[in-house]
Amino acid sequence: MNHLTEEQLILHHYGEAENAPAVAEHLRGCAVCRGQYEALHRTLSLVTAAPAPERSVDYGGEVWRRLRPELREEPRFQWRRYLRFPPLADWPRWAWVPLAAMALCVAFLAGRLWPAPSLAARGLSAEVRRQILLREIGEHLERSQVALIELLNTKTNGMVDLSMEQDLARQLVAANRLYRQTAAKAGDARMVAVLEDLERALIEIAHAASPISSTELANLRQRVDTDGLLFKVKAVDAQLRLKERDEARARAAKPS
């Protein structure tokens, strides 16, 4: 048997090694691996030894006292309480006059005011929509980075199941297309270029075979990360976050 890999030692430490008796047997006979395993064990013991701060005995009570005001029950609307009117036949005649006047006022005001909110919303939405879009593209780039990192860092000697990564890639492709079209309309050529590359990579991942052999996975990685795609996505994401932060600061500094 060759020397054990770090991954095998880690899995053995956590009791998840595929062939635990063989690993244990190897460790008994191989001083090099035993040394590696002991070093790993010492490091992880140090992590365990780092104490977590203790809470008081009444900690649960403290949490409850902070939490209780937040737990508002859904108010149950009781129609009967508000609709306890006497029968119409019992109403005095004079009561119809103010009622009719009130209905007229309500109809007039409704007619006047009804379109107003949508106009206001249209006036506000351009800036607000742009900010929301910036944030959403940032989130999208971050999720895409996670998907790419997961794929690029996967280590294997055998077959790998990519179904989870593929599900994520499929979701991201649909969102990516929308953001790319929006960026094109806004004339942001750099963003369009990065999103185009990203879309191509995501489609590659989504349509790859799964399970996939380590050789095929290496080829896929090469195709996906051509021209340092991950780096480009990171750079655009960082730039976007910076822009978002600067705009937030500018808005905060602006006198109302």
Partner 1 sequence: MMDDGDAAMVARVRGGDTDAYRTLVERYSANLFHLAYRMMGNEQDAEDVVQESFLRAFRQLKQFESRANFGTWIHRIAVNCSLDLLRKRQRQAGRTESLSAQPDDEIHALPSEGPSPERLLVNAETREQVNLALNQLTALERAAFVLRHFEEKSIAEISASLGVSGNAAKQSIFRAVAKLRVVLEPMVNSTP
Neighbour-count burial for 9-27, b at 16+ CB within 10 Å, e otherwise: bebbeeeebeeeeebeebb
Q: Which is nearer to partner 1, 33 or 162 (CB)?
A: 162
Is 32 a binding residue for partner 1 by CB under 8 A? The answer is: no
8 neighbors 33 (Cβ within 8 angstroms) = no
Q: Contact with partner 1 (CB under 8 A): which of 19, 59, 120, 251?
A: 59
Q: Contact with partner 1 (CB under 8 A): which of 33, 165, 169, 236?
A: 165
Q: Contact with partner 1 (CB under 8 A): which of 31, 71, 83, 116?
A: 71
Applying CB under 8 A, which part among 90-98, 154-162, 188-196, 197-205 lies near partner 1?
Answer: 154-162
Q: Contact with partner 1 (CB under 8 A): which of 2, 43, 157, 215?
A: 43
The span from the CA of 169 to the CA of 206, in Å, is 6
The span from the CA of 86 to the CA of 242, in Å, is 64
Is 150 a binding residue for partner 1 by CB under 8 A? The answer is: yes
Applying CB under 8 A, which part among 64-72, 126-134, 228-236, 246-254 lies near partner 1?
Answer: 64-72
CA atoms within 13 A on the CB side of 121: 5
Q: Contact with partner 1 (CB under 8 A): which of 18, 70, 90, 227?
A: 70
The span from the CA of 19 to the CA of 24, in Å, is 9
Query: For residue 142, what are its two tokens?
Result: 């971050």
205 neighbors 165 (Cβ within 8 angstroms) = yes
Q: Contact residues for partner 1 (CB under 8 A)?
A: 6-7, 10-11, 14, 16, 39-40, 42-44, 46-53, 55, 59-61, 63-64, 66-68, 70-71, 73, 142, 146, 149-150, 153-156, 160-165, 241
